[in-house]
Amino acid sequence: MSFGDASCADHCPMARSGFLRSTAAAALAGIAGSGLLAASASAQTVGTISPSRVQGKTLVYPLPPNEGAQIDTGNGVIIARVKNAVYALSITCPHRAVTALDWNSSTKEFHCPRHGANFQADGELIDGRPDRSMDRFAVRRAAGAIAVDTANLLQQDSAQDAWIHAFVTVA
């Protein structure tokens, strides 16, 4: 699966396969009430989060100061920072939306316990049955925070350009 490789070459904050294997900073956690939060290392953060503000279907979260993931199990949102990009990922596997993903602390990848798919920290599909990467929510910057439009879930295969650009940058 190679969604985004060519089209992403000039503007994506992270190349498809390079980041997770080249840096130890991209660590995320197990998800969805499974109690699988992984141990964090010095350059990564893993934890839980709740929106600081709710405006209808828009959830506002503080921007993460470090790389890693903050998981809002109640709303099914993962706020993931990879280098200077912050994403809002859906917690569910894109193959079967009822399956919650785990974090594999040894490979530093998301893992689907149902059929074994693996995903990078920014949600890009590595391998497995899904025909697309993890779904991303539409986001915008909101005064030092990230506003996540949970009514606008972007699928890589049907909204590729919007999916690619669904992040906010941080310094």
H or E segment at 21? helix 18-22
Q: Which is nearer to ligand FES, 126 or 154 (CB)?
A: 126
Find the binder of ligand FES among 126, 128, 132, 145 (CB under 6 A). Answer: 128
Q: Does 141 bind ligand FES (CB under 6 A)?
A: no
* CA–CA gap between residue 37 and residue 29 (Å, rounded): 5
For residues 137 and 57, give the distance between their C-alpha atoms in angstroms, rounded to a whole number. 11
Q: How far apart are CA 166 and CA 77, in angstroms?
A: 14
Query: Which amino acid is present at 91?
Result: I
Q: Is 155 in the site for ligand FES (CB under 6 A)?
A: no
Q: Which of 83, 129, 141, 165 binds ligand FES (CB under 6 A)?
A: 129
For 143, which DSSP code?
A: S
Closest distance between ligand FES and the C-beta of residue 128, in Å?
A: 5
Of 6-14, 50-58, 62-70, 109-117: span binding ligand FES (CB under 6 A): 109-117
> ∠ CA(110), CA(117), CA(88), 5° rounding?
40
Rounded Cα–Cα distance for residues 82 and 20 (Å): 9
Looking at the Cβ atoms of 129 and 165, the one nearer to ligand FES is: 129
Closest separation in Å from C-beta 69 to ligand FES: 18
Sheet containing 102-104: give its strands across: 102-104, 109-111, 118-119, 125-127
Size of the site for ligand FES (CB under 6 A): 11
Smallest separation, CB 100 to ligand FES (Å): 9
User: What CA–CA distance (Å, rounded) separates 97 from 93?
Assistant: 5
Tokens of 17: 């396969």
Site for ligand FES in 41-100 (CB under 6 A): 93, 95-96, 99
State the minimum distance, in angstroms, from the CB of residue 93 to ligand FES. 3
Q: Which of residues 125 and 145 has its CB atom nearest to ligand FES in the complex?
A: 125
| Residues engaged in binding ligand FES (CB under 6 A) | 93, 95-96, 99, 112, 114-115, 117, 128-130
